[in-house]
Amino acid sequence: MKRGYWSKLSKDKQQKIVLICIVTLIALSGVVQFYVLKNWNALVDTKKQIAKLDDQIQQAERDAQQAARDVAHRAEVKSFVEIQRAKMVSGDPFAWAVREFSLLAEQEPVHIVGLHPGGKVETKLGSPSYSTRIEFSGTYDEIGVYVRDLENKFPTSEIQSFSVGGSRDDKGRHSASLEIALAVLPAHTSEELGAKKTL
């Protein structure tokens, strides 16, 4: 039976080799414990911080996009409100109605026969309104177009009554009467707008 390399070594050399192996293992475990694991833990912590910061950046980007949308939406709402305010009765209600209905009639084929002043009324929405009656004439189509355009120009208005009359001898033209309630600009808003104009 052949003797191995280990058995050929003297007992003193065997102990030295064993001691070197033990010291090497202790050194390796120390390197792993104090350097590799420490750096590994630092790497894990860094990855967690990066993930957390990435989430925060994405949330900040979403918030910035939402803020930009909110600014645009506020601008749209402000523009809409200003347009609606411009279409509300202000100052002398009857003079305002005469001016606005005459301007609209200039663009329409109907003929305004008369405007009759009304008074302040409460609409279904509960807001203060001014009621007036318009008498005009035209064909059925012209009357229909004028009423549609009137409602489109004053979307906050409320038609309270409408009648069309005619006879065989009217040659296709008919007389119409319409009572309409128009939203009145509140006094404090009209004062604010007047102050802005003077600035």
pLDDT value, residue 135: 92
Cα gap 178→180, rounded to integer Å: 6
Do 102 and 78 share a structural domain? no
Q: Specify the pLDDT at position 133.
A: 92
Range(s) of the domain holding residue 102:
93-192
H or E element in which residue 79 lies: helix 37-86
Annotate 4-64 with DSSP letters as a single string: PHHHHS-HHHHHHHHHHHHHHHHHHHHHIIIIIHHHHHHHHHHHHHHHHHHHHHHHHHHHH
- Name the pTM for this structure: 0.53
Here the tokens at position 134 are 């318009």
Query: Are residue 108 and residue 77 in the same domain, yes or no?
Result: no
Say if residue 39 is in the same domain as residue 63: yes
46/66 same-domain check: yes
**Considering 63, 86, 109, which residue would you say is the last residue of a domain?**
86
Residue ranges for the chain with pLDDT beneath 70: 1-6, 31-34, 36-37, 81, 83-84, 86-87, 122-126, 187-199
Same domain flag for 188 and 98: yes
Positive/negative CA dihedral, 183, 189, 191, 193: negative
Last residue of a domain, one of 57, 86, 115: 86
pLDDT tens profile 78-124: 777 676 676 677 778 888 888 888 888 888 888 888 889 888 776 56
Residue 140 domain-assigned? yes
Q: Number of C-alpha atoms within 13 angstroms, CB side, residue 5?
A: 1
Is there a single domain that holds both residue 147 and residue 168?
A: yes
Q: Are residues 56 and 136 in the same domain?
A: no
Judgement on whether residues 40 and 103 belong to the same structural domain of the protein? no
**Token pair listed for 36:** 């590799």
Q: Are 179 and 118 in contact (CB under 8 A)?
A: yes
Shared domain for 97 and 187, answered yes or no, is: yes
Q: Residue 195 has what pLDDT? A: 47
Q: Measure CA 99 to chain center.
A: 34
Which two structure tokens, joined as six digits, stand for 169?
């001898």
Q: How far apart (Å, rounded) are the C-alpha atoms in residues 28 and 135? A: 105
The whole-chain average pLDDT of the chain stands at: 78
Across-strand partners of 108? none
Q: Answer yes or no: is 198 within a domain.
A: no
Q: For residue 154, what are its two tokens?
A: 């004053």
